[in-house]
Amino acid sequence: MAGVVITDVGPRDGLQSQQAPVSTEGKRTLIEALWAAGLPAIEATSFVSPKAVPQMADADDLLPSLRVPPGRALSALVPNRRGLERALRAGCREVAVVLSATETMNQRNIRMGLAQALDECTATLLEARSHGLATRAYVAVAFACPFEGRTPAPRVRELAQAMADAGAGELVIADTIGAASPVDVREVLDELLPVVPVERVGLHFHDTRGLALANAWQALGMGVRRFDASIGGLGGCPFAPGAAGNLATEDLAVLCTQTGHATGLDPALLVRAVDVASALVGYPVGGRAMPWLRRSAQHASAEKQEEMK
């Protein structure tokens, strides 16, 4: 069976909502731990307004200081062409744009209508491509919107297609608030896959209702091979009950490995990266599979030491 490409969005989506400040040095350490664990792609930061997202205020310093191992992808989120300019100055080689799928979400978030937001996104994509950058394009609130409820699947298809037409390399369909069920995933993919090549489709789940991994399994069954996930399930806010984090990278890795999909990830080094993430945010993070993964890693390490005697 084909391999699965996991983009770890922990350094961006996972850290942006943390209450306590996270140092630039700490972010670098986490990203190094993710490279060490074998992650093929990392979304490192976001060139948004430092006022809106203080945790990402160090993007201009962080990004140029990051190592990108050969064959790996390091991306940064850019909200618009101004953000793209900053990303280019920082030496960024891959950017992600975000388009919310509903009128109200765009109005509330960026004070634009949906049509204007789409124009800004496609313009940013075209500009990024003219500089030779690789691109990802998020369709946010693609399953449900906190203001408008269920998002119509045909609209998700139209928006994804418009961004594919503007040259987006990967189309990331995002369940921003963690409201999707596997039935919703099936419905959206049934709309999308006839018009966008499955190789370019990625899915981004949050685990608010505990369904993220079941959703991933539904998508895997329909041929999707790109997923966002966040080390340790980083994301949401530990102090706000109900604000659950992203799908945990290590849980997705276990699902993939156990169902015959290679990820290139090293289980013991994933456990180490989760520990780095916990130290960084100051409270224990970790997906559902962590106790088992940790035990397996210890067991494997003991066996290796035995062999070396």
Residues annotated as catalytic are: 237
What does the alpha-carbon distance between residue 56 and residue 21 come to, in Å, rounded to a whole number? 10
Q: What tokens appear for 255 in the block?
A: 């699902």
What does the alpha-carbon distance between residue 104 and residue 208 come to, in Å, rounded to a whole number? 21
Maximum distance among all alpha carbons in the chain? 66
**Rounded to the nearest whole angstrom, what is the least distance from the CB of residue 277 to a second copy in the complex?**
17
**Rounded to the nearest whole angstrom, what is the least distance from the CB of residue 138 to a second copy in the complex?**
23
Q: Which CB, 83 or 233, lies closer to a second copy?
A: 233
Beta pairing partners, 5: 226
**Rounded to the nearest whole angstrom, what is the least distance from the CB of residue 103 to a second copy in the complex?**
25
Residues 241, 77, 231, 142: what is their CA dihedral angle, to the nearest 10 degrees?
60
**Rounded to the nearest whole angstrom, what is the least distance from the CB of residue 240 to a second copy in the complex?**
9
**Rounded to the nearest whole angstrom, what is the least distance from the CB of residue 270 to a second copy in the complex?**
13
Q: Which CB, 214 or 269, lies closer to a second copy?
A: 214
Q: Which CB, 70 or 260, lies closer to a second copy?
A: 260
Q: Are 217 and 258 in contact (CB under 8 A)?
A: no
Q: What tokens appear for 290 in the block?
A: 């962590």
Q: Which CB, 11 or 233, lies closer to a second copy?
A: 233
Question: Chain centroid to CA 296: how far?
Answer: 26
What does the alpha-carbon distance between residue 124 and residue 276 come to, in Å, rounded to a whole number? 34
160-184 in b/e burial notation, b at 16+ Cβ within 10 A? Answer: bebbbebebbbbbbbbbbbbbbbeb
Q: Which CB, 102 or 208, lies closer to a second copy?
A: 208
Could you list the residues that contact a second copy (CB under 8 A)? Answer: 178, 181-184, 207-211, 213-214, 216-218, 241-244, 251, 254-255, 258-260, 287-289, 291-292, 294-295
Quote the crossing angle between the two packed helices 153-165 and 182-192, to the nearest 10°: 50
What does the alpha-carbon distance between residue 140 and residue 34 come to, in Å, rounded to a whole number? 25
